[in-house]
Amino acid sequence: MRTVLPCPAWCVEHDDPDPFEPGDGGRHCGHELPVLVGAPARFGLPVLFVQLNAHDCDGRRHSWIDLVAPSRAHAELTVAQARRLADALIAVGDLWEARVPAGMLPPCPPWCEWHDEAMDPESDQWHCGPVRTVPVLGPLRSGAEVRVQLCAGDTRAGRRVVVGLTVWDDEMTELTGAEARRLAAALLNAADDLNAADDLDTADAEGRLAPPD
C-alpha cells in the first residue's frame, strides 16, 4: 500500500506520486528565495536563489535546501551544511571592502595567501584569500562542494574586492559583502523553515503511531 504524506508547511508546488514507481510519495518545492548579484547583464539581473525541496519515498520524507547559481549549477544542502555555508559567507563578507583607490593600494591585502594572474586577464594582479570549503549532500553522492573565497583584482583604477562563490567546478560568482550576507540570511531562513517543518512532521507521525487512549 502506498503511503502519501501531507505536504510540508512550506510547499507551494508539488508533483503527485509516480504511479509506476512503487513507494514514490511525490515531490515538494518551496518558494524560490532570490538574491540579486552584480550589475545588470544583457538578459537581466544575475540571481542566486535558495529553495526548499523534498521527496517522499516509502513513507519517509527526504528534505534538502537547493542553492542555485546564476548558471543554474546547484548544490543540495542539509540544514547543517546550509548553516555552515552561511557562517562562511558571513565571515568572508565581513572582510570585504569597497574598491580601494589606486593611490592607496598596499602591496597585498592582509588576507592574501597567493596570487593568480590567470583569474582575471584585465587585472595587473589577482589576490586570493583562504578557501572555505563546505561539502554538500548532492546532487552528486561524492565530491560535491561549495567554496567561498575573498579575492581582489588590482588595475590602474584601483583594487576591486569580491567574495567568490563556487558551486562544484562552475565559474565563480562574484558577490559584494552585502550580497554575501543576504545569501547567508536566505540560507539560515531556509534552514529554520526546514527544521520547523521537520519537527511538525515528526510530531504528526508520532501522533498517528501512538496507541489510542
Q: Where are the domains of the chain?
A: 13-209
Write out pLDDT tens, residues 133-184. Answer: 999 988 876 678 999 999 988 877 788 899 999 998 888 999 999 999 999 9
pLDDT at 191 over 90: yes
What confidence tens digit (pLDDT) does each residue in 90-100 have? 999 998 876 66
- Please tell me the predicted confidence (pLDDT) of residue 143: 74
Residue 47 has pLDDT above 50, yes or no: yes
- The candidate with the shortest Cα–Cα distance to 179, out of 70, 31, 81, 29, is 70
In angstroms, the CA 45 to CA 36 distance is: 7
Q: So what's the pLDDT on residue 119?
A: 61
**Percentage of the chain modeled with pLDDT above 70:** 80
22 φ, ψ (degrees, to nearest 5): -60, 135
**pLDDT of the residue at 180:** 95
For 178, the grid coordinates are: 552585502
pLDDT of residue 11: 93
Confidence of residue 64 (pLDDT cuts 50, 70, 90): very high
Average of per-residue pLDDT across 180-209? 77
Mean pLDDT of 17-34: 90
Residue type present at position 169? D
Coil/strand/helix, residue 183: helix
pLDDT of residue 41: 52
- Predicted pLDDT of residue 206: 47
